Amino acid sequence: MKSVNRVTLLGNVTRDPELKSTGNGQSVCTFGLATNRVWRDSSGERQSLPEYHNLVAWGGLGEFCGQHVRKGKPLFIEGYLKTRSWDGQEGTKVFRTEIVIENLVLLAPRDEGEEMVPALPGDPDE
């Protein structure tokens, strides 16, 4: 049986990216994204409910995020869900589900004086 693990989000960055390197030198960047679900309730009033997502980008894409993604900016991402676990304080198991980014599009216009954003590594137009 086939399965699908695919995530597509359009939202706003909730915190500036944090770029780190793993023990073997691999770049990894983490940050958050907020999306809103909007609907009308039974009385016709507009309702909105935010949802917060943890994002991870690896390698060259992670370095790109660390350099160009900023808190408050709109962002379109595609990726997949990954849950990791570790032993927390007092020996309890901690779980965290994250979205591993495979593709992203910066949606905000460049700030005045900001340099042109380069193509992502592996872009066909490179």
The range of the structural domain enclosing residue 63 comes to 7-106
Residue 10, H or E segment: strand 7-13
Q: Is residue 118 part of a domain?
A: no
Pull the structure tokens for residue 117: 């954003």
Its pTM stands at 0.79
Banded model confidence at residue 108, pLDDT cuts 50, 70, 90 = confident
Determine how many CB atoms are found less than 10 A away from the CB of residue 105: 11
Q: Is residue 47 part of a domain?
A: yes
Banded model confidence at residue 114, pLDDT cuts 50, 70, 90 = low
Task: For 88-112, give the DSSP string.
Answer: -GGG-EEEEEEEEEEEEEE-SPPPT
For residue 124, the model assigns a pLDDT of: 44
Q: pLDDT, tens digit, for every residue of 4-31?
A: 999 999 999 999 999 999 999 999 999 9
Q: Is residue 111 part of a domain?
A: no
Q: How many domains does the chain have?
A: 1
Q: Is residue 126 part of a domain?
A: no
Q: Is residue 124 part of a domain?
A: no
User: What does the mean pLDDT of the chain come to?
Assistant: 88
Q: Is residue 114 part of a domain?
A: no
Q: Which residues contact 110 (CB under 8 A, 6 or more apart)?
A: 116, 117
Note the helical H segments in 2-124.
59-68
Q: Is residue 81 part of a domain?
A: yes
Residue 112 has pLDDT above 80, yes or no: no
Query: Distance between CA atoms of 73 and 70, rounded to whole angstroms?
Result: 6
- Residue 46 belongs to domain with CATH number: 2.40.50.140
